[in-house]
C-alpha cells in the first residue's frame, strides 16, 4: 500500500504554459493533478497506455478520432492507448490524469493561447 497526500505536495508550475501540476509516479501507476488555465491546449498526441481523465472543477474538451467530447465537473473519460487526441481547457480547470504507464507524463504539455500574441503596435 502507498499513501500520498496531494495537499502536502509542492506543485510544479509553468506560468507561460497555463499549467500547474502535482505528479505521483511509483513505478506502476502515474497520477498527475493538473491545474489548467482557460484557453490552454495540448497539441495532437497519443499515449503508449490507456489513460483516464477526471475533471474535478472546470471543463475540458477532447478532440478524438471519433469526435469531440466535453468533460465538466465529476465526469471521466478513458482514452485508449494509441488514440490520437488533443485537449483544450474551456474554463480554469482542475483534473486528474491517471495512467498505468510509469513513463507517462500526463496529457501535455499544455500551451497557453494568448489571442493578443500576434498583435503589433502601430
Could you give the domains of the chain?
18-112 (2.60.120.10)
pLDDT at 48: 83
**32-65 pLDDT, tens per residue?**
888 888 988 888 888 888 889 999 999 999 999 8
Q: Which of 23-32, 93-102, 107-116 has the lowest mean pLDDT?
A: 107-116
Query: Which residues touch 28 (CB under 8 Å, ≥6 apart)?
Result: 100, 102
Query: CA-CA distance, 49 to 112, in Å (whole number)?
Result: 26
pLDDT at 122: 47
- Predicted TM-score (pTM) of the model is 0.77
CA distances from 114 to 37, 40, 43, 119 (A): 11, 9, 15, 10
pLDDT at 119: 52
Amino acid at each position: 500500500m502507498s499513501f500520498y497526500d496531494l495537499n502536502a505536495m509542492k506543485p510544479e508550475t509553468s506560468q507561460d504554459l497555463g499549467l500547474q501540476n502535482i505528479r505521483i509516479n511509483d513505478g506502476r501507476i502515474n497520477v498527475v493533478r493538473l491545474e489548467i488555465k482557460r484557453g490552454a491546449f495540448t497539441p495532437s498526441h497519443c499515449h503508449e497506455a490507456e489513460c483516464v481523465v477526471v475533471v474535478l472543477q472546470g471543463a475540458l474538451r477532447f478532440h478524438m478520432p471519433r469526435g469531440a467530447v466535453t468533460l465538466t465537473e465529476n465526469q471521466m473519460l478513458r482514452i485508449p492507448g494509441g488514440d490520437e487526441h488533443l485537449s483544450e481547457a474551456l474554463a480554469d480547470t482542475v483534473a486528474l490524469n491517471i495512467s498505468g504507464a510509469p513513463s507517462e507524463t500526463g496529457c501535455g504539455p499544455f500551451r497557453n493561447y494568448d489571442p493578443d500574441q500576434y498583435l503589433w503596435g502601430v
